[in-house]
Amino acid sequence: MTLIERDHLLAHIQDLITDHGTVRVLGQILKLKLMRRKPKRAIRLPMNPHIRRDIGLPPAHKPPDPYKFLL
């Protein structure tokens, strides 16, 4: 940030303070600085079982044991 941009930003903040008040402007600045935003993770799309098998991934759900009823 250059010195000119810094002066322009300071003038803008001073205009906001005169319009809305010191407590409101500084409160919003603190709120934004203290609030941590977590990046949203991409949602994994469901994958066709045949595609999973073709690319070498394990099945999404373990298939039921066909002989479990004998136990």
pLDDT in tens, 40-60: 777 777 778 888 888 888 877
The band of 18, judged by pLDDT with boundaries at 50, 70 and 90, is very high
pTM: predicted TM-score of the whole model, two decimal places: 0.43
Averaged over 6-29, what is the pLDDT? 89
Mean of the per-residue pLDDT values of the chain: 82
- Confirm if 29 and 21 have CB atoms less than 8 A apart: no
What angle separates helix 22-34 from helix 3-20, to the nearest 10 degrees? Answer: 120
